[in-house]
Amino acid sequence: MKFNYAALAAGLFVATALSFTGVVGAEEKPSGHPGTPETEMRYKGAPVPIKPEQAETVVSPKAPPLTEAEFTRAKQIYFERCAGCHGVLRKGATGKPLTPDITLNKGTDYLKVFINYGSPAGMPNWGTSGVLSDQDVDLMAKFLQHEPPTPPEFGMKEMKASWKVLVPPAERPKKKLNNINLANVFSVTLRDAGQVALIDGDTKKIVSVIDTGYAVHISRVSNSGRYLYVIGRDAQINLIDMWMAQPANVAVIKVGLEARSVETSKYKGYEDTYAIAGSYWPPQYTIMKGDTLEPLKIVATRGFTVDTQEYHPEPRVASIVASHFHPEFVVNVKETGHTLMVDYSDINNLKVTDIGTERFLHDGGFDSTKRYFMVAANQRNKIAVVDSKNDKLVKLVEVGKIPHPGRGANFVDPKFGPVWATGHLGDETIALIGTDPVNHKENAWKMVRSLKGQGGGSLFIKTHPKSTNLWVDTALNPNAAVSQSVAVYNIKNLDKGFDVVNIAEMAGLGEGPKRVVQPEYNNKGDEVWFSVWNGKTQESAIVVLDDKTRKLKAVIKDKRLVTPTGKFNVYNTQHDVY
């Protein structure tokens, strides 16, 4: 039977278009982003910083032949465009598995259609968007039928070779040498510059721009508030001493080839003692000395999935937080669905409590009491509630499509009592989960409200204990009017719905996608900061609003603010205020 490529392409194109419209809301259509391909606005994983030459080529006899140069090009495309969702080993995560037992049966023509037009599940249309040429689409369809190239492991030898103490602890200041109000400093990720900018929240001026790894994912602050830990997606950790006259790097290490998470010990008696980082590749976590980043202990996370008990060779480490009830790190393993309570009181005789939660764990944060950790199992549309005092799973709560809370938002709902909130990448809802099992037992660990927001594509939601506002971004929505603005709710009158604040317009920038991302409060809770994230060669900005009036207070522009994304206020991050 002859393969009808044209018919499949036409049918899949219609299905994909309908499906994608459904993902972001029936009334929304891609529009209004000058110079920005539609595929850039779709939900996809970030590029994997593994280089083609680092992954050994494996030739499969039954697969279409490729030259060495073609393999190199295909590996580069896969790591840059595909691995963030499908995994380095193509075992699947956000995206479906792409291993030869599946792809060989599909064949080259079939795979070309999916790469060209995307899929009904929301995969970007790499070909028709112009991101990949016809030649590259054909190449990738053939490449996917070969065994996945495997990057090298990264152990203690490699870590110590990368580890540098730039300023030994004995040579560091004994007291703070600057006049900066460190409690109100913001660590701002300059995504495409490989840097962070430290911005004084009082003066709105850049204190320092510090070189880091590629595309810093998060910044974390030591319990004392002195040290800042930042981790790039290339698994490089930079330790910054904010007591220096000019805050600067004092230590650096690589803990793998790709990573996302870093945290520091906070339990009484262990303040600033340890740091921990979780890697995407190799799948493992590393415990280090808090003041030098010296690697002390590496633990692999390869193992069996929590549901079907199948072995997974690439369970990546997602979010990590420090427990306030025990000397433990809460480590979330994405693909297998295990939450690990790692006891660091004796790392030579490490004790780990393994809690089976749910697969595809991603980001999350504590409830207002800092006892219950709320983590998104994003591809299962659930929030797992973990009791960090008793080290047990409390509940799996069904929410909207692809929850993406950041660290979430805690506040008191006028009807349901204390709640924790998350937005979603896959639909326009905001889920509110009751978090008080004592005084509001009937509402605890249930979705008590589902608010309607602007649309899908939300990355972060935020409020503050001193605020009556709930801010929700929609940075990855394909509609420009939605991605360039934020929704804000009055917590005291949630039934009223949301107001729209056009943050990008306030920034006064030129053309570009101008995505508005990650509301973040100052330490006093009376200002809220937004990144206006433009293209690498375009002007970006930070917009500061008065939280009470919701009016513009300042616009921070600087040539050094290249693609600002995440912002982390020192005090709020240090004390888990969100």
Q: Is 82 a catalytic residue?
A: yes
Q: Is 288 a catalytic residue?
A: no
Please give the structure tokens belonging to residue 44.
């996809």
Cα separation, 350 vs 235, in Å, equals 23
User: Pick the catalytic residue: 312, 326, 338, 362?
Assistant: 362
Amino acid at 80: E
Cα separation, 331 vs 234, in Å, equals 19
Of the candidates 320, 309, 449, 426, the one whose C-alpha atom is nearest the C-alpha of residue 379 is: 426
User: Pick the catalytic residue: 33, 146, 338, 404?
Assistant: 404
Position 96 scores a pLDDT of 87
User: Pick the catalytic residue: 33, 41, 123, 312?
Assistant: 123
Phi-psi region of 322 (alpha: psi -120 to 50; beta: other; left: phi over 0): beta
Q: Is 364 helix (H, G, I), strand (E, B) or coil?
A: strand
Asked if 284 and 256 count as a contact pair (C-beta separation under 8 A), the reply is yes
DSSP 444-511: BTSEEEEEE-S-S----EE--TT--EEEEE-TT-SBHHHHTSEEEEEGGGGGG-EEEE-HHHHHT--S
User: Pick the catalytic residue: 33, 41, 82, 341?
Assistant: 82
User: Pick the catalytic residue: 1, 33, 41, 86?
Assistant: 86
Cα separation, 426 vs 477, in Å, equals 9
> In angstroms, what CA-CA distances link 510 with 61, 504, 538, 540?
52, 10, 8, 9
Give CA angle at 40 (39, 41), nearest 5°: 90
Cα separation, 117 vs 64, in Å, equals 22
Residues in the chain: 578
Q: Is 404 a catalytic residue?
A: yes
Q: What is the DSSP letter of 45?
A: P
CA 384 to chain centre: 17
The phi, psi pair for 55, rounded to 5°, reads: -110, 120
One digit per residue, pLDDT tens: the chain, 578 residues?
333 433 333 333 333 332 323 333 333 334 444 444 444 444 455 678 888 999 988 888 999 999 999 999 999 999 988 988 898 999 887 788 999 999 999 999 999 998 998 876 667 889 987 889 999 999 999 999 999 999 999 999 999 999 999 999 999 999 999 999 999 999 999 999 999 999 999 999 999 999 999 889 999 999 999 999 999 999 999 999 999 999 999 999 999 999 999 999 999 999 999 999 999 999 999 999 999 999 999 999 999 999 999 999 999 999 999 999 999 999 999 999 999 999 999 999 999 999 999 999 999 999 999 999 999 999 999 999 999 999 999 999 999 999 999 999 999 999 999 999 999 999 999 999 999 999 999 999 999 999 999 999 999 999 999 999 999 999 999 899 999 999 999 999 999 999 999 999 999 999 999 999 999 999 999 999 999 999 999 999 999 999 999 999 999 999 999 999 999 999 999 999 99
Q: 397: burial class by Cβ within 10 Å (0-12, 13-18, 19+)?
A: buried
> In angstroms, what CA-CA distances link 391 with 33, 283, 408?
46, 23, 21
User: Pick the catalytic residue: 41, 85, 242, 288?
Assistant: 85
Q: What is the DSSP letter of 40?
A: G
Instruction: Centre a 10 Å sphere on the Cβ of residue 125 and count the other Cβ atoms it contains.
Output: 23
Position 46 scores a pLDDT of 67
Q: What is the DSSP letter of 4?
A: -
Taking the alpha carbons at both ends of the chain, their separation in whole angstroms is 59
The pLDDT tens digits for 323-340 are 999 999 999 999 999 999
Position 27 scores a pLDDT of 35
Cα separation, 407 vs 555, in Å, equals 25
pTM: 0.89
> In angstroms, what CA-CA distances link 167 with 42, 160, 195, 520?
43, 16, 19, 31
The pLDDT tens digits for 213-222 are 988 999 999 9
Strands 527-533 and 515-521 turn out to be antiparallel
Q: Is 242 a catalytic residue?
A: no
- Residues with Cβ within 8 Å of residue 315, at least 6 apart in sequence: 283, 301, 302, 303, 333, 334, 335, 336, 338
Of the candidates 317, 323, 386, the one whose C-alpha atom is nearest the C-alpha of residue 355 is: 386
Q: Is 159 a catalytic residue?
A: no
Asked if 474 and 458 count as a contact pair (C-beta separation under 8 A), the reply is yes
Q: Is 575 a catalytic residue?
A: no
